[in-house]
Chains A and B, each alone.
Chain A
Amino acid sequence: MTAEKMSLAKALNESLRKSLETDPKVLVMGEDVGKLGGVFRITDGLQKDFGEDRVIDTPLAESGIVGTAIGLALRGYRPVVEIQFDGFVFPAYDQIVTQLAKMHARALGKVKMPVVVRIPYGGGIGAVEHHSESPEALFAHVAGLKVVSPSNASDGYWMLQQAIQSDDPVIFFEPKRRYWDKAEVDTEAIPDPLHAARVARTGTDLTLAAYGPMVKVCLEAAAAAQEEGKSVEVIDLRSMSPIDFDAVQRSVEKTGRLVVVHEAPVFYGSGAEIAARITERCFYHLEAPVLRVGGFHAPYPPARVEEEYLPGLDRVLDAVDRSLAY
């Protein structure tokens, strides 16, 4: 085993490096990804080692970045594009939704679209407007796209490589406030499948389901609940499209209770989808309605109040209590 402790940012960097090394068709593209190494340094040093032809600084034009990546994919390349921040993906949303997602189907399967769109997302870093949003549901709603989010360095390392190897377009959400969290990464392990959920902590009284930045909060909540004598299981979904409902179902059949946690607004969010499906699948196992904890139906607030907007330990524990009270 060649395990090494590294930050999520470093793991993503290593993952890109490995991908560039193993497949000459892989390209990294985006604003500031070259010399600067990206504003979060995820692409640090890659241009130096792989050249400007493989690690491409692009004009400041998101539709252009994704649109040309589509053309490069049609030519046989595997572009990994970086959108600098969550709130800036929208100029490219048209290309992603109307072109990237549908090209394979429109060509009756004759062309593949192996494009990865990396988006640092979520709040908690005290940023200005448009730097803290969680638009994953907008992408998961679109057929033809796959949407994933690692919550830790090990998943960052493996899931990004798997996304790059996928012949489908993958929207790869990186929880920016976890970039600096360190974890063991075994670079020779056999990784879980890209879309499989993972039981991050076992428990018997209630299931917390989360992904990306909220997994850590849920693990902390479960530990706190333990001290109060409650056994909480935590599922790291890892993938928002598809969702590993089987894994959630297995857990809920055991615990009878489910709370879904995400940073994105609750209204029309992925929690709604999970609640509906799990209610259909587990109606007779549920001891309480599926509860959701997430952001409000309001623009992401200024940094000084974001801690109130973001689901924290207390709000998660409150939902745990409400569920257990049924």
Chain B
Amino acid sequence: MTVESTAASKPRRSSKRVSAVAEKGAAASAEQGVAASPAKAAAKRAAARKSAARPQQAGQRGEQAGRQAEPELVQLLTPEGERVEHPDYDVDLSTEELRGLYRDMVLTRRFDSEATALQRQGELGLWASLLGQEAAQIGSGRALRDDDYVFPTYREHGVAWCRGVDPTNLLGMFRGVNHGGWDPNSNNFHLYTIVIGSQTLHATGYAMGVAKDGADSAVIAYFGDGASSQGDVAEAFTFSAVYNAPVVFFCQNNQWAISEPTERQTRVPLYQRARGFGFPGIRVDGNDVLACLAVTRSALERARRGEGPTLVEAFTYRMGAHTTSDDPTRYRHDDERQAWEAKDPILRLRRFLEAQGHADEAFFTALDEESDVLAKRVREAVRAMPDPDDMSMFDHVYADGHALVDEERAEFAAYQASFADASQEGK
């Protein structure tokens, strides 16, 4: 989220310091890239020169012939909705469970599209959509046990859903009312992490603790293909391997890190990285919910057995923009997206359910209604979300307190109170 602005763009409360607010507004629009400047134009030219010099730039990537040969993916469900076998991985799910996975994906997508709409309506400052990544998230999320612990990025709305986190909790930071705002321990779902890759180390440390406790739960860390370039991710691989930590690294390779393609992050298929650190890596069809479930479950079980980490690369695609501030038309072709649309994770499970007679029209209609109810609930909850109290910025800075925070809190309270006194005087 380079062009990130998490402050909701709702009308600001009338402020005592009008000039200060105007300044803030200007800063925000500059951040969003609205204001054009000579420096920007120069940067653009430089970028154009660069891309001319390098034929393999992002723009041409759609037709790029020299892409790495794609290694085999674990797949259990083809894009056409046919069930296929894999020698090492399988799932045996009841009709009810299959319908459950479908329901999870549909509701998650609906929640996500509602959030995007809320951003467009100015109710959220920013939104990072998971569109296209539902199978990777629901498949891996449903492989988890309650006592497993999840370390997400900022896009794991589907995993949050599987953990039973109320989806409205996820919106606080995007609306600008908090920087996280939920208790990570109530659903074993850690706060979203913005600094790319940081959470993979937290997951590893947490997993080291799990091992020390002699517990048999596992930890899963989500991150993207871009994150795989970060030192923290390499360090997490090292630590987890050296200490045999029960952690699964779940990389959603959605092909893009904002405008940078995966080829800009790595010269080898990502899942192969694991081998150099001394643990297995596996690439799974990230648009196949059954395969994601099977592979993640197997990796989690391996961790629980004390056999250490696994890297799962879910090969998938981010169908929308990186965030609502992003414009993917500047760096990728629409035909790429169309090619991936044919592999839509939801559509393929629907085809399978229909072909097998696992779900009828009534099921789909009921689900549509349920989606509408969810969307309405989310919409209402966001609009009703109270702004934090001014004084709350001084809360929880320290667990044990801090003299300076106490002093500044008192000063600020007195300053605020002086306005109340002034408004009383007029009456």
30 A-B residue contacts at CB 8 Å? A59-B235, A59-B238, A61-B235, A63-B232, A63-B235, A67-B198, A67-B232, A68-B202, A71-B201, A71-B207, A71-B209, A74-B202, A75-B213, A76-B209, A94-B195, A94-B198, A104-B396, A107-B180, A108-B178, A108-B180, A108-B183, A109-B399, A110-B182, A143-B397, A166-B400, A167-B399, A168-B402, A241-B402, A242-B402, A242-B404
For residue B405, CB closer than 8 A to chain A, the reply is: yes
Number of interface residues of A (CB under 8 A): 47
A244's closest neighbor in chain B, by CB? B403
For residue A137, CB closer than 8 A to chain B, the reply is: no
For residue A53, CB closer than 8 A to chain B, the reply is: yes
- Contact partner of B198 (CB less than 8 A), chosen from A72, A95, A113, A166, is A95
Contact A72 B205 (CB under 8 A): yes
Which range contains the number of B residues in contact with the other chain?
A: 35 or more
Residue among A75, A103, A243 with max Cβ neighbours from chain B (10 Å): A75
Q: How far is the CA of A72 from the CA of B396 in the complex (A)?
A: 20
B232's closest neighbor in chain A, by CB? A63
B residues whose Cβ falls under 8 Å from a Cβ of A? 178-186, 190-191, 193, 195, 198, 200-210, 212-213, 231-232, 235-236, 238-239, 242, 395-400, 402-405
Closest 10 CB pairs of A and B: A71-B205, A67-B201, A75-B209, A68-B205, A64-B235, A167-B399, A71-B206, A106-B180, A110-B183, A242-B403
Q: Given A71-B204, A71-B209, A107-B183, are A59 and B239 also a contact pair (CB < 8 Å)?
A: yes
> Which chain B positions have C-beta within 8 A of A104?
396-399
Q: How far is the CA of A102 from the CA of B236 in the complex (A)?
A: 20
Q: How far is the CA of A53 from the CA of B244 in the complex (A)?
A: 13
Q: How far is the CA of A111 from the CA of B205 in the complex (A)?
A: 15
- Contact partner of B398 (CB less than 8 A), chosen from A64, A94, A168, is A168
For residue A296, CB closer than 8 A to chain B, the reply is: no
For residue A98, CB closer than 8 A to chain B, the reply is: yes
B396's closest neighbor in chain A, by CB? A109
> Which chain B positions have C-beta within 8 A of A94?
195, 198, 232
Q: Nearest chain B CB to A97's CB is how many angstroms away?
A: 10
Given contacts A68-B204, A74-B184, A74-B202, 7 further A-B contacts (CB under 8 A): A64-B232, A70-B202, A75-B213, A104-B399, A106-B179, A167-B399, A241-B402
Q: Nearest chain B CB to A304's CB is how many angstroms away?
A: 34
- Contact partner of A146 (CB less than 8 A), chosen from B179, B201, B231, B398, is B398
Q: Please encode chain A, from 241 to 284, with 1 for each CB lying within 8 Å of some chain B CB and 0 for all others.
A: 11111000000000000000000000000000000000000000
Residue among B195, B209, B395 with max Cβ neighbours from chain A (10 Å): B209
Q: Nearest chain A CB to B375's CB is how many angstroms away?
A: 27
Q: Nearest chain A CB to B181's CB is how many angstroms away?
A: 6
Contact A107 B184 (CB under 8 A): yes
Q: How far is the CA of A58 from the CA of B240 in the complex (A)?
A: 11
> Which chain B positions have C-beta within 8 A of A10?
none
A77's closest neighbor in chain B, by CB? B209
For residue A69, CB closer than 8 A to chain B, the reply is: yes
For residue A138, CB closer than 8 A to chain B, the reply is: no
Q: How far is the CA of A168 from the CA of B238 in the complex (A)?
A: 27
> Which chain A positions have C-beta within 8 A of B185?
110-111
Q: Please encode chain A, from 64 to 87, with 1 for each CB lying within 8 Å of some chain B CB and 0 for all others.
A: 101111111111110000000000
Q: How far is the CA of A107 from the CA of B397 in the complex (A)?
A: 10
Q: Nearest chain A CB to B55's CB is how many angstroms away?
A: 35
Residue among B179, B395, B398 with max Cβ neighbours from chain A (10 Å): B398
Q: Nearest chain B CB to A49's CB is how many angstroms away?
A: 18
For residue A91, CB closer than 8 A to chain B, the reply is: yes
Contact B395 A64 (CB under 8 A): no
Q: Nearest chain B CB to A182's CB is how many angstroms away?
A: 31
Contact A98 B213 (CB under 8 A): no
> Which chain A positions have C-beta within 8 A of B203?
71
For residue A105, CB closer than 8 A to chain B, the reply is: yes
Contact B205 A67 (CB under 8 A): yes
> Which chain B positions have C-beta within 8 A of A146?
398, 402
Q: Nearest chain B CB to A279's CB is how many angstroms away?
A: 16
Contact B181 A108 (CB under 8 A): yes
Contact B402 A64 (CB under 8 A): no
Q: Given A67-B198, A111-B184, A195-B403, are A105 and B179 also a contact pair (CB < 8 Å)?
A: yes
